[in-house]
Amino acid sequence: MKPSQRIWRSLAVIAAFAAITGTFACENWPMVGWENATSQRVTVYAYGDFEFDVQPHQTKNIVSPASHWRADIRVVAEDGRVLLEDHITWDEVREMGYKIVITDPEHPRPRSPTPSPGTTPAG
């Protein structure tokens, strides 16, 4: 076999391996979206260890296999307030559609000015 044929064969094997492992990773390691619906940067801790920060009004997507999920979550705002402290199981994350929304109970989101379907605006 010529050297150039060996190179192409090696590249084909590497590409096939990457495609297979990429498919496996996508199917078994879902992205968990951490949406920061507050006006402050928040820090996420799991079992007391720093995990990551999420900027205001941003979402950080983290690849997380179920076997590596750390359920004891604490989210702290820039000003030091604890916004979320809970034991969130992997089943609960799955039920939430793999999205955790961080809100600020002291500063809730403003309501939409658009009325809900089937209602009549007052006035």
DSSP 11: H
pLDDT of residue 4: 62
pLDDT of residue 106: 80
- For 36, 46, 59, 106, the CA distances from 68, given in Å and listed in that order, are 22, 11, 20, 32
pTM of the model: 0.65
Question: pLDDT tens digit string along 72-104?
Answer: 999 999 999 999 999 999 999 999 999 999 999
Q: pLDDT confidence of 10, banded at 50, 70, 90?
A: low
Judged against a pLDDT cut of 50, whether residue 119 lies above it is answered with no
Give the span between the Cα atoms of 35 and 100, in whole angstroms. Answer: 6
Give the span between the Cα atoms of 68 and 53, in whole angstroms. Answer: 19
pLDDT of residue 123: 47
Question: pLDDT tens digit string along 13-69?
Answer: 676 665 555 544 445 688 999 999 999 999 999 999 999 999 999 999 999 888 889
pLDDT of residue 13: 63
Q: pLDDT confidence of 109, banded at 50, 70, 90?
A: low
